[in-house]
Amino acid sequence: MKRVMLYFGSFNPVHKGHIALAEYVVGQGLCDEAVLVVSPQSPYKQAAELAPEMDRFEMAEIACAASAYPDRIKPSVVEFLLPKPSYTIDTLRYLKENFGSEMHFSILMGSDQIARLPGWKEYERILEYPVYVYPRRGEPAEGFEGRITPLTDAPLQDFASTDVRDRIGRGEDVAAMLDEGVAAYIRRKGLWSPATRIAALGAQIAAEPENTALYVERGKLHYRMGEWGPALNDFNAALRIDAEHVEAKEFARMVQEILEFRYKDIYNP
């Protein structure tokens, strides 16, 4: 019987930490296959946070194919076929009913999920399966002793998909976090790009017009993209709310210097 370890997640996007863990469980002989179960909609996350489900699946395909075990690390669309939102126990029940005669299922999850596990649908049923828990910094795998298997020497993830999205949104380099093919896919699709983040900040500012942090964040994005006028407008908007805002003052000063240099009439100084 094939031993299949299920790694549930939004994979929004899949990153090197996810693949390193899948490679670890396969390399340690804990399973015959590690399967990244891409969730189309988690009941614990807002749908607005998620990239389109097929984009997330295709990125998972790319990352799995580039792994050390491309024939043994694979993504799954099983939750795309089930009612939404996706509950782990419902997926487990479906898999056992349809493939239980051929496959023995186990689960891979992070230590940060353990504290939240009692809030999951029918979590006691989930614990009837072998559950392997990998470490997350500052998140000890406490509780359910004897019912879970801590993977204390598994690769430690120092970043999450949220960090990847935030860096992309700020226009920063993510080469250390993403497979090259996944990074290329994100660029091609414009996922979580600075322009996308600017649009999202615009909606937030409309809802919170006195929030200086939002103006400054959007201004910094315009600044990185060389959009000096919109950048200055945002920094000045923050200063109208808080005239002593240090970061807004400094960026406004830098933009003013850039504009004065670029548009200075060199023939009539």
> What are 43-76's pLDDT values in tens digits?
555 544 678 999 999 999 999 999 999 999 999 9
pLDDT at position 260 is 83
> For residue 49, what are its two tokens?
């946070």
pLDDT(181) > 60? yes
pLDDT(252) > 70? yes
Neighbours of 25 (CB within 10 A): 23
**Sequence-ordered list of residues with C-beta below 8 angstroms from that of 85, at least 6 positions apart, any chain:** 41, 42, 43
Tell me the CB-side half-sphere exposure of residue 131, using CA atoms within 13 A.
25
pLDDT at position 43 is 57
Residue 167 and residue 183 in contact, taking contact as beta carbons nearer than 8 Å: no
pTM over 0.85: no
pLDDT(234) > 90? yes
pLDDT(126) > 90? yes
pLDDT at position 42 is 63
Residue 155 and residue 17 in contact, taking contact as beta carbons nearer than 8 Å: yes
**Sequence-ordered list of residues with C-beta below 8 angstroms from that of 173, at least 6 positions apart, any chain:** 167
